[in-house]
């Protein structure tokens, strides 16, 4: 058995969401390495029912356009939100045979990818924040990104550098373990 409090434990305890990031972002090569690491995510039947859409530069506006169309709101508002980070990683659920593995379980795999990717980015010195919303699974958003059924969006990570002022570790509010860890009944 390994020592309690190893690297993965420490990484998880330090992870934070960063709503404000700098204009730096992981390179394509770094991103490929992070995505390749997702091969270890728990996944029944090794279906890998997910993919990631990388949005940089003007491509980030495609997501904003889809959300604006779905919501009927001002496009400029959504463009401002989608361009606040230099990189947006859209997590797509790509379901396979649901007779073999139920859809909810395939979505759980994609969720695991999203959150482990966020952890890996943070541990590598990048800031990110997970986002989704009412219109995440709308036809307009799928169309804007070229996502066709049966695929659908789960959400996205805004990714960039961590500003100097946000680099210090901040303690988290402790969990109520009696609520979050229990026996049967």
Per the annotation, binding residues for FMN are 15-17, 44, 130-132
Binding residues: 15-17, 44, 130-132
Say whether 161 sits in a helix, a strand or coil: strand
- Check if the beta carbon of residue 109 is closer than 8 Å to that of residue 149: no
Separation of alpha carbons 116 and 120, rounded Å = 6
**How far is the CA of 19 from the CAs of 32, 105, 163, 175, in angstroms?**
23, 29, 10, 22
The residue among 50, 47, 71 whose CA lies nearest residue 133 is 71
Separation of alpha carbons 109 and 48, rounded Å = 8
The side-by-side arrangement of strands in the sheet containing 50-56 is 50-56, 87-93, 152-161, 126-131
**How far is the CA of 152 from the CAs of 51, 105, 125, 148, in angstroms?**
10, 15, 29, 7
Counting DSSP H helices and E strands in the chain, the numbers are 7, 4
């Amino acid at each position: 058995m390994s020592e309690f409090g190893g690297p993965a434990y420490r990484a998880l305890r330090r992870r934070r969401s960063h709503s404000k990031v700098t204009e730096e972002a992981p390179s394509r090569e770094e991103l490929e390495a992070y995505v390749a690491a997702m091969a270890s995510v728990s996944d029944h039947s090794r279906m890998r029912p997910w993919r990631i859409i990388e949005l940089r530069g003007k491509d980030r506006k495609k997501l904003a356009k889809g959300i604006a169309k779905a919501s009927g709101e001002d496009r400029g508002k959504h463009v401002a939100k989608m361009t606040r980070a230099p990189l947006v990683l859209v997590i797509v659920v790509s379901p396979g045979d649901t007779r073999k593995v139920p859809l909810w379980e395939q979505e759980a795999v994609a969720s695991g990818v999203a959150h482990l990717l966020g952890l890996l980015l943070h541990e590598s010195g990048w800031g990110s924040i997970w986002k989704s919303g009412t219109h995440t699974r709308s036809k307009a958003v799928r169309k804007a990104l070229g996502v066709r059924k049966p695929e659908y969006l789960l959400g996205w990570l805004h990714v960039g550098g961590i500003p100097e002022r946000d680099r210090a570790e901040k303690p988290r509010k402790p969990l109520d373990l009696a609520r979050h860890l229990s026996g049967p009944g």
